[in-house]
Each structure stands twice: as structure tokens, then as C-alpha cells.
A and B are shown apart, each in its own frame.
Chain A
């Protein structure tokens, strides 16, 4: 009696998930396996192997991979440094790190566009210093900069969480047994924080793979990611069947990737709650 009443509290969530996840997903999958006449077909699913789509997929994969690696390279040392620092300093730095997350991400990308455009602030500074201007905007590099800027906190938090949760006792035990600083880092801290790195990879790589807004704004429509192609199929070409087919293929791809890295989604959630 009591329990069934408690269950009633889940109704808003069930409506939400059904309305905005389950039903659209069924709709997309249905579209993906049919043609415009409603006949069953697999061609939309295999369209991802077309040269144009394959090239876009490879570009998505490459940029997502580079962005993820850069995020790790930036985030991991910060986590190690923060581990050793005073608690108050730790909180201030953490606050600065997650401050960008308080801002709408499109606003952040538009701001980045201002910074790195040909007549942007970065090039103005270079000009003042009599250095050659950088050609960044509308290049794959610009998209990587945007992705790293956007997704760094999602790498930072799970890594930081796992590095900070390593007990000082364990590190002292290692030192006691003869470990020097480098040995402790490689044999204790690194293996014990791999779960955090795994979560970070999932949380940066997956959204980067499906990215299209950053590519539109910082890539100027010149770099085609798979996300851009899907978006165009829905909004420009109006071929919803092909768009759905590519979506489902990409989703399968993402699921496989997150299955490889993402056994630690619970840690990732824990990381966010810092």
C-alpha cells in the first residue's frame, strides 16, 4: 500500500523519459530501417560506409580522439597537483575549473569564436607583439580547441575524484616499502585512478563524437563531422530516413566505445557530484 503510493512519485520521470527518450528513439529506429515509402530496408544503416559519410565519421573519430587525449594531458597533472595542495587552495582551483559549466555552452563557443577568429583578440595580441597571425578559425584545430574548452571539466572531475580518493595511507605504505615519488606515481596513483580516467574518456569522447554545433560555429561549415551530416539530413535535405539510419549507426558506434571504456559510469556520476 505504502510502497505503491511511493511509486506514484516516479510518474513525472516516467512521462519525461517516455516522451523525450523512449518514443523518439522508437521513432528514429523505425525511420532508420524504412525508406520514404515505408518499406523495410537496411540501406540507411549501411549508408555510413559511403565514402562521404565514412570520411566524416573518420574526422569525428579523429577530432574526438585528439580532444580526449588533450583533456587527459591537461586534467591529470592538475589532479596530481591538487592532491598535494592545501584544502582551501584546492576548493578555489576546483571552483575556477567548474565555473565555465555555469555558462551556456553555445555562449562559450561564440566567445571562443571571438577569441580565435582572423580579426579576433588572439591575433590582435600577436599583431601588437609583431608576430605573424594564426589561422585558426574554420580549421579542425579550432574545433579541437572548442571541444577541449567545452568538455575539460567532464574529464577533470572524475579524474580529480579518483585521484583525491586515494588514501594517504596507501601512498605512505608504498614509500615505506621503498617507493620514490616517480614509482609511487606510476605504480600506485596511476593504476588506482584509472577508473576516473575511464569515466573521463567516456564523458568527453562520446559527446565529442556526436558534436556538430562546435563544428558549425568554429569550423564555419567547412569541416564535415558525422554530426553535421546528420543535422543536414534532418534540417536541409529533409531525408529523415537517411538521417535516422546514420544516427543509429553512430549510436551503435558510441555504445561500443563506451562499452570499452565505460564500465565506470557510476564513478563518472560520483565525479560530477563533487
Chain B
């Protein structure tokens, strides 16, 4: 039922408890969130406990702890080298962690070899067996399990139908396009009925159009199979489109765990804000609860608990900067550049407070025109400044309780 909801509206409605509780104190009416706290009680299936891993003196994962739930579409998102693939490979059994344990169904699988794990992987470069035809590729795992040839034949047909490649049994992998090979790789994995399907940037090698099509396909497959997907990507759009839960990683540390909406609307630190979507990442001073100063301009916001006169990072999404041709607004500015981006116009607006805003609107403002600039208090996201050099390292325990995803 929960998944059905996710599928229909394209995004996930799970919002961690307490997200909204900060608002009443600011006397601003809450209006935009829906709550769905009952459904997030899905059973925990996989647990990483204090996993650390380094390759040749480079720490790839630093004390990573993460829960993955039954029937969840969880995406590990981050730039290359952030440790997302290593996390997936530890789960697949291809890399052993230096420290920490991995549990599957409360059972310690840290030392279990990959061939004994109840999960299957779709590899980035497909990794099809070139010396076998499509049917033999798909049958590979089933034959090892000793299934009867009749059952194998039925399952090959079923899985090919699932990925939309009926009748491809006798084709050789080399004769298939990249997208078709990827589908065969998926069929080869899911035919074994794994509890969890691991996907390592499976769409990375496909062109844009095909990638978008496959995003829908994967989401549909997940609903049809009713299993857990753990997905690795560096493409934030892909992560936001498909996932129930997004885990943003950087430098071997989890930056934020949350629904795609959380991650986008309530980034927990500057790294997440910068990595997900376009954003105006600004220096501000939190004057008191619900009031932040940007370049001397005091703007109401909805965040509390930062103390008085505290330097903070401020994120304003480009689509949240409102422009007014008649000069109405909290401050004024001049449009310095404009570009057509298809759905919207993208502009740079130099404001009177010394800040150049990146703005996206569907309205056209000519270069040189003077506009009023205003931002809704809800659309101003306040974040702590990183405490030390290793910057975006944001200790989860210090994070505002309401913003971490802890079912």
C-alpha cells in the first residue's frame, strides 16, 4: 500500500516526525507537509554497524551505520570517491570491511562469501557472460541452485517478459544494445528471486532518453517484485526520482538520510544543499530564532535553535527567489544575465545587499531591468557552519533530531 502511494505520486510522502514542530513558535502557519508516520515502521532488513574501510591509507568509509528496510528503494548518492560503491560492494560481499559488521535479517553476514548471500547485483558494466547466449546468462544462477530445466525455462520466459525482451533467448549479448544488455543483466539478477537487489550505477552508460525510460522501468519492477532495492548513483536527479530513501554521502560519511523531499527541501548541511540541485549557498548571521541577516538585510525564516548572532550557512533554491517587475520585495536588484532553459528562465540578479542570486522563473525579465526580490520564510534553509577543516563532516548525533530519518 505504502509503495503504491509512492508510485502514484512519484515522490515519497514519508516525513520524519517533528519536522514541522519547529514552526508554531514562529507564528507562521504550516501548510505544506503531509505526514505518514505509520508506514515507516517497515521491518529492518539490513544493518551496517560502524563500518570502516580504507584502501592504501585512504579512508573510504568512516564508521558508517545505516539501516535498510524491507521493500525500501534506498539510494546511496554522492560524488565519486564518497564511498557509495564501497558500501554496496561490502553488502554484496566483494569487499570486506576493516571494522564493523553487516547484518541481514539480524544475522551477521560480514564474513559470508558473495555466493552465499541472499542478494543479487546488477553491475555498472552489465558483466554479461559473453560466451553464453541470453537464456544461458539468465539460467546461470538457477542452474547452480539445481532447478529443473522446466522451471528454468519458465523463469527465463517470465524474467524476459518483465524486462520487455521476450524472444531474445538465443541472442548473444554482444548483439544487443547497451540498454538491452542492461535489461538482461537485471533479468539475470531478479530471476533468482533475491530479497535485495543491488544496483551499481546501472544506468550510467545509457544515454539520457533511455536512462529516463529505465528509471520508470526500475520503479515499476520494484513494485512488481516487492523486494528491496539498494541503488548507487552520483546522479541526484535519478536519486530523487526513484527512491523512497536517499542517503547522501561524502568523504566516507553519511551526510543526510531522508526522503527525496527532505533531502531537497531541508538539506542538513552546505554539502547536501550544494550537491542536490542548484542552490544559492550564502553566508548569513542568525540574529535570533526565526530571523536571519543576509548582507545586512534581516529576513524572517522558520528555523530555531541556532542561538543569537550565530554565523550560519543559508540555502535558497533558485526557484524560490521571487522577482517582481514593479520593484516590490524585501530588496532590489538588477538582472545581469538570462538564459532559456526550456521549462524556465535562469537569471543572475545582482541585489542591493551585495549578493548575486541565481534565479529560476517561468517569467522573462530583460537584462538590465530592476526587480524586487523576496523569499518566502519557508524557503530559507538555515544550516550550521561546518565546525572544522574536514568540513562537510556533519556528525549525525548533533544534527537536529527532527531531520534525521530514524524510524
Interface, chain A (partner B; CB < 8 A): 167, 169-170, 172-180, 183, 187-188, 191-192
User: 8 Å CB contacts to A: which residues of B116-155?
Assistant: 120-121, 123-125, 127-131, 140-141, 144-145
**B127 and A175 form a contact (CB under 8 A):** no
For B117, the closest partner residue in chain A by CB is A176
| Contacting pair A179 B144 (CB below 8 A) | yes
Say yes or no: is B377 at the interface (Cβ < 8 Å to chain A).
no
The reply to whether A172 and B144 form a contact with Cβ atoms under 8 Å apart is no
The answer to whether B125 touches A177 (Cβ under 8 A) is no
* A180 and B115 contact, Cβ closer than 8 Å, known pairs A174-B129, A174-B140, A188-B129: yes
Q: Is B69 an interface residue (CB 8 A)?
A: no
Q: Considering only CB atoms and an 8 Å cut-off, how many residues of chain B contact the other chain?
A: 24
**Minimum distance in angstroms from A174 CB to a CB of chain B:** 7
Residue B311, interface by CB 8 Å: no
Q: Does B204 contact A (CB under 8 A)?
A: no
Name the residue in B113, B115, B120 with the highest tally of chain A Cβ atoms < 10 Å from its Cβ.
B115
A-B pairs under 8 A by CB, number: 60
In the bound complex, CA of A41 to CA of B113 (Å): 69
8 A Cβ contacts from B345-371 to A: none
Tell me the minimal C-beta distance from A183 to chain B in angstroms: 7
Is B333 located at the chain interface by the 8 A CB criterion? no
Determine whether the beta carbon of A177 is less than 8 Å from that of B192.
Answer: yes
10 pairs of residues in contact across A and B, judged by CB atoms under 8 Å: A167-B127, A170-B130, A173-B121, A174-B129, A174-B140, A175-B115, A176-B189, A177-B192, A178-B141, A180-B115
A residues less than 8 Å from B92 (CB atoms): 172, 176
Q: Is the CB of B131 within 8 A of A191?
A: yes
- With A169-B125, A176-B120 known, 19 other A-B pairs at CB within 8 A are A172-B92, A172-B121, A172-B127, A173-B128, A173-B185, A175-B93, A175-B114, A176-B114, A176-B115, A176-B121, A177-B189, A177-B192, A178-B115, A178-B141, A180-B113, A180-B115, A187-B140, A191-B131, A192-B130
**Residues in chain B near residue A183, CB distance under 8 A:** 144
Residue of B nearest to A195 (CB): B131
Which chain A residue lies CB-closest to B138? A177
B183 within 8 A of A: no
In the complex the two chains form, what is the Cα distance from A187 to B114 in whole Å? 17
Residues of B within 8 Å of A187, CB to CB, are: 140
Q: How far, in whole Å, are A176 and B189 apart by their CA atoms in the complex?
A: 9
Q: Does B340 contact A (CB under 8 A)?
A: no
Q: Which residues of A contact B140 (CB under 8 A)?
A: 174, 177, 179, 187
B2 in the interface (beta carbon within 8 A): no
Measured between C-beta atoms, what is the minimum distance from B145 to chain A in Å?
6
**Which residues from chain B contact A177 at a C-beta distance below 8 Å?**
115, 120, 140-141, 144, 188-189, 192
Given contacts A191-B131, A192-B130, contact A175 B125 (CB under 8 A): no
Q: How far is the CA of A177 from the CA of B94 in the complex (A)?
A: 13
Which A residues are in CB contact (< 8 Å) with B114? Answer: 172, 175-176
Residues of A within 8 A of B125 (CB): 167, 169
A173/B127 in contact, CB under 8 A = yes
